[in-house]
Amino acid sequence: MTESFNQAWVLLGVGMVTVFTVLLLVVLIGNGLVLFVNRFLPESESGKPGNAGFKSAIHPSKVAAIVAGVKNVTAGRGNVVEIRKNKKI
């Protein structure tokens, strides 16, 4: 009976170490991927919100109001990528 308990404890330990190792690898590879992308593939300047990214007939003060409204509503997490007028149906 004690031999099967010992085998169960060994299997439990091996399983827990394996799961911990795999999760550690996932975290390390994920962090490495984020660092690689941020370092070698930076975001282009045209994707930033503001008047420079918009080529439309909308007045600059309206663009600024829309960008400020989106930032306020989304607590700074949202970005305005494009502003376009809806076509009338």
Question: Could you tell me if 61 and 29 lie in one domain?
Answer: no
Residue 83 · residue 63 · CB < 8 Å: yes
Range of the domain at 75: 45-89
Asked if 50 and 31 sit in the same domain, the reply is: no
Pair (2, 32) in one structural domain: yes
Q: Are residues 65 and 81 in the same domain?
A: yes
Torsion of the alpha carbons at 47, 50, 54 and 59, rounded to the nearest 10 = 170
pTM of the model: 0.47
In this structure, are 38 and 53 located in the same domain? no
Q: In this structure, are 27 and 54 located in the same domain?
A: no
Helices (H) and strands (E) in the chain, counts: 2, 0
**Residues 51 and 74 grouped into a single domain:** yes
Tell me, yes or no, whether 49 and 81 share the same domain.
yes
In this structure, are 33 and 51 located in the same domain? no
Over the stretch 30-84, which tens digit does the pLDDT of each residue have? 999 999 998 888 776 555 555 455 455 778 888 888 888 888 888 888 888 888 7
